[in-house]
Structure 1
Amino acid sequence: MGKPEIRFKGYTDEWEQRKLGELVKEGILEAPLDGNHGEKHPTSDEYVESGIPFLMASDIHNGEVNIYSCKYITKERAERLDKGFARNGDVLLTHKATIGETAILSNLMTEYAMLTPQVTYYRIKNEERLNREYLYSFFNSLDFQTELKTKAAQSTRPYIGITAQQNLKIILPTEIDEQRKIGLYFGNLDRLITLHQRKCDEVKSLKKYMLQKMFPQNEQKVPEIRFEGFTEAWEQRKLGDLVDRVTRKNQDLVSELPLTISAQYGLIDQNEFFDKRVASKDVSGYYLIENGEFAYNKSTSTDAPWGAIKRLDRYENGVLSTLYIVFGIKENNPVDSDFLVSYYSTNLWHKGIHEIAAEGARNHGLLNIAPADFFETKLMIPQDIEEQKKIGKYFEELERLITLHQQKCEELKKIKKFMLQKMFV
C-alpha cells in the first residue's frame, strides 16, 4: 500500500488498506433522512437536567466532547432507543451537518452516552489489530477527511450513510506498536493544544473580571479592587486635557504600511488581517501614526458596538485613513500610556461616545462623531500616576500571557496539521 513520509524509527513495513467495517463495529441511532425522527428520537420535552448525556454533532469539536452543554435524557428513555449506548473508549465521528468532527469518549467526560443520528460511534473489534488512538488520529488525517467530505457531497444532502461508512478506507501500519506510537504522538499534541487553549481562556476570563473590578463602576469614584497603598478617590478628566490630536500626513511616504483596527488584535497590517490591501495605492494623504500613539476606529461591529480605540504596538509606524481619529499623550505625561490602553479595553468610555454620536449616526456601521466632540469625552483616572502605572502594567502582563498561549496554540496546530499530512499514507 505504501509508506508514510515521516515515521518512527525502526519501522519499515508497508502499510495495509482495509475497510473500516472490517475492524470496528459501529452504532448509529437510526432515523429517517427527512428529519422526522418519530418515536426513536428524543423530543425537547423529554430532556431532563441530569441522566444519560444525549450528544449532538455540535457537542463534538476539535477532538473534545462538550459534556457540559449537551442535553440529557432519562435512562428509561435511553434504553428504548435502538442501538444501545456509546461507551467509554468509543471513537465518535460526525457524519451529517458538521461532517468529520471526531473525539474519543472517555471517563473524564462520561462513562456512556446516547448519540444523535448525526453521530456514529466506533468500537474496536480487536485491540491487537487496531489501536483506538490511532483510529482517532487517522480520522483527522487529510486523506480521510477528504474522502469523507467527497462521499458526503455525493448525497442529495451532506450525509454519510452507515453502509458508506463501513466501506470507508482505513490505511494502517501492520504493527500495533507503530499504531500506538502514532496515536500517542497525536494525543500528546491534542493535550498540549487543549492545555494552552484553556490557559488562554482562563486568563481572558480573569482579564474581563478585573476590568470590571479595577475601574470605578456606576459613577463611583473608587474601584472595588485596587493595589495596596492607594486610597484617594479617582478624578474625572477630559480626554483633550490628556492627549493631543495627531493629524500629520504621510506626505514624504515615511510609511507605506496600511493599518486597520481590530477589536481583538489592535492596530494591525491590512494585508495580515484582511488577507488583502484595502487602502489606496497612494497613501501620501493618509495619517502617519507612530509607535505608542492611539487611534479610534468609528466603525462598529459585534465585538465593538461603539468602535475601538487601540495603541500602535506592533510596528514602528504605519498609515491610517483620515476617517480615523489619531492621538498621542501630551508631552508632560499627564496619564500613563498602559493605563490608557487598559481603560479603553473596558466599556466605560462607551457612554461618552453614545452621548456625542449624532442621531442616525450608524451609516453603514460608521459612527458620525466629530473629532472636537471626541476629545471632549471624559474618563475617570487615578490621581496618582503610580497607581495608573501599576494598573497598566497588570493588564499588560495579562495580555502578554493571553498572546503567549494563543501563539503556542497556533504553533501546535500547525505542527499537527503538517504531521497529519506526513505521518499517514
Structure 2
Amino acid sequence: MNDTQAKYPQLRFKGFADPWEQRKVSELADRYDNLRVPITASERVAGETPYYGANGIQDYVEGFTHNGEFVLVAEDGANDLQNYPVQYVDGKVWVNNHAHVLQAKEERADNKFLTNALKHTNIEPYLVGGGRAKLNADVMMKINFKVPTLPEQVQIGNFFDNLDHLITLHEEKKRQLERLKSALLKKMFADKSGYPVVR
C-alpha cells in the first residue's frame, strides 16, 4: 500500500475526496470521568435512567451523572478484549467508575463516528494489568487513528447508527419469534391428558 492509498478508505460516500488525517483521541474529544459516580446495587434507587458500567447497562436508576451525547469506553472489567466495549449514548445516563466518558469536540468530531472508530481500533495493546485489564485514561487519550473531515464523519456515524438500529429491531423480532415458538411447542404437543392444548 503506498502513501496515497493509506490516506483514503476503500469505500466512501459520494462527494468526499479529502484525505483522512491521523488524530489522537485528545484532539477529538473531551473526557468527563470526573462526573462518574458508582453506586452499590443495594443503594440504587430504581428509576428510568440507564446505569452504565464497563460492559453496558447494569440497572435503571433515579437521577443521572451525564446528560447529552457521549461515548462510553470500558476502563476495567471489560468482558471481551477483542471486541472492546465502546458505546454511544444520548440523553440522561448514570455512569459508574468502570467506564470512561468521552464527548466529541463539536468543531472537530462526531460522537457516532468516534464510537465506531474506537470500536474499530484494537484496544488490547493499550491495556495494562493482569487478570483485570485496565485502559488508563491518559493512555486512552493518546490512542490515534485516521479521521476524515467533520461532514464525512457525520455521514459515516449516521450510517452505522442506522445499521445498529436495524440490527436491534431484527434482534427484537427474533426474540419475539423465539417466545412464540416456545409457547406453541408447549401447546401443540400432547400433555398429560394425551391431547395438545392447540390443534
TM-score normalised by structure 1 residue count: 0.41
* Distance (Å, rounded) in 1 between the aligned partners of 2:129 and 2:163: 34
Distance 1:192 1:54, change over 3 A: closer
* Residue from 43, 47, 62 that aligns with 1:46: 43
Task: Pick one of 188, 191, 197 that aligns with 2:162.
Answer: 188
Measured at CA, do residues 214 and 134 of structure 1 come closer, stay the same or move farther in structure 2, by a change above 3 Å? same
Would you say the 8 A contact 1:17–1:169 is kept in 2? yes
**Residue among 150, 153, 158 paired with 1:176:** 150
- The aligned counterpart of 1:89 is 69
Counterpart position of 1:220: 193
Alignment of 1:131-146 (within 5 A): 131-141=110-120, 144=121, 146=122
What is the match of residue 71 of structure 1? Answer: 59
**How many Å separate the matches in 1 of 2:46 and 2:187?**
33
Q: Check 1:197–1:74 CA distance in 2 against 1; reply closer, same or farther (3 A cut).
A: closer
Q: Offset of 1:117 from its aligned partner?
A: 1.7
Q: Distance in 2 between matches of 1:55 and 1:118?
A: 8
Residues 47 and 61 in structure 2, CA contact (< 8 A), matched pair in contact too: yes
1:196 and 1:72 map into 2 onto residues whose CA distance is: 24
Cα distance, 1:189–1:71 mapped onto 2, change above 3 Å = closer
- The 8 Å contact of residues 27 and 121 in structure 1, kept in 2 or not, is answered as yes
Q: How far 1:184 moved relative to its partner?
A: 2.1
Does residue 87 of structure 2 align to residue 103 of structure 1?
yes
Structure 2 counterpart of 1:198: 172
The count of corresponding residues between Structure 1 and Structure 2 is 189
> Could you list the per-position Cα deviations for residues 62-120 of structure 1 after superposition, in whole angstroms to 9, with x for gaps in the alignment?
xxxx5xxx324554xx6xxxxxx2323212221322252122213xxxx3122122211
Aligned-residue sequence identity (percent) comes to 26
- Any runs of at least 4 consecutive aligned residues in structure 1 with deviations exceeding 3 A, and if so which? 72-75, 154-157
5+ long unaligned stretches in structure 2: 1-5
**Distance (whole Å) between structure 1 residues aligned to residue 144 and residue 198 of structure 2:** 59
C-alpha deviations, 1:32-91, integer Å up to 9, x for none? xxxxxxxx6322320233264322223x2xxxxx5xxx324554xx6xxxxxx2323212
Structure with greater Cα Rg: 1
Q: How far apart are residue 30 of structure 1 and its match?
A: 8.6
- Name 1:311's counterpart in structure 2: none
Tell me which residue corresponds to 2:27. 22
CA contact (8 A) 2:69 2:89 kept: yes
Q: Is the 8 A contact 2:73 2:85 kept in 1?
A: yes
Give the letter aligned to residue 216 of structure 1: A
**Superposition deviation, residue 169 in structure 1:** 1.0
The CA distance in 2 between the partners of 1:90 and 1:184, in whole Å, is 15
Give the C-alpha shift of residue 125 in structure 1: 2.3
Contact kept? 1:48, 1:71, Cα under 8 Å: no
The code of the aligned residue for 1:210 comes to L
- Determine if contact 1:30/1:117 at 8 Å carries over to the other structure: no
| Structure ranking higher on relative contact order (CA contacts 8 Å, 6+ apart) | 2
Q: C-alpha separation between the residues in 1 aligned to 2:30 and 2:189?
A: 58
* 1:195 Cα deviation from its structure 2 partner: 2.4
